[in-house]
Amino acid sequence: MENIENTNEQMPASLKNDFVVEKQTEKPKTPNGTNIDLLMDVSLRVTVELGRTRMQLAQILELQHGSVIELDRLAGDPVDIFVNDCMVARGEVVVVDDKFGVRITEMFSSKSGRVALQ
């Protein structure tokens, strides 16, 4: 057998392959958490717990308009803030323009424990 050297210059034009390499200018969006914009429209249930109590069914059936239920916390105690049944923060009740609100005073992180806000 003979050693034949073929270069692109010796090949007929119909056999040449031109390759075009395109550079990606933008990173692809991946679902592994690198693009938080994918989660910005997700709705979450936020619950603020003023306190708790235990009552018998007979006591609940006796409740009327104007009844007062005693809770296990004092007025002015911090309230717990839950997101999807997971406690994420504590705060204090405030009134803004005749509406109730909650000012967050303490955040909880699953990794490091408590994070105090100032």
Q: Residue 114 burial by CB count (10 A; 0-12/13-18/19+): exposed, middle or buried? A: exposed
CA dist 80 and 57 (Å) reads 26
Assess whether pLDDT exceeds 60 at residue 2.
no
In degrees, rounded to 5, the angle at the alpha carbon of residue 28 between the alpha carbons of residues 27 and 29 is 115
Residues 6+ apart with CB under 8 A from 104: 81, 89, 90, 91, 117
Assess whether pLDDT exceeds 80 at residue 61.
yes
Mean pLDDT for 68-94 is 92
Q: What is the pLDDT of residue 94?
A: 92
Residues 6+ apart with CB under 8 A from 80: 48, 49, 87, 89, 90
Mean pLDDT for 1-5 is 50
Distances (CA, A) of 20 to 28, 60, 75: 20, 76, 71
| Average pLDDT value for the chain | 77
Task: Parse the chain into domains and list their residue ranges.
Answer: 37-116
34-52, pLDDT tens digit by residue?
A: 678 888 889 999 999 999 9
CATH class of 37-116: mainly beta
Partners of residue 22 on adjacent β-strands: none
Q: Work out the pLDDT band at 13, boundaries 50, 70, 90.
A: very low
Q: Does the pTM of the predicted model rise above 0.85?
A: no
Pick the residue with more confidence: 118 or 94?
94
Q: What are phi and psi of 7, to 5 degrees?
A: -120, 165
Q: What is the pLDDT of residue 27?
A: 54
Assess whether pLDDT exceeds 80 at residue 83.
yes
3-class SS of residue 18: coil
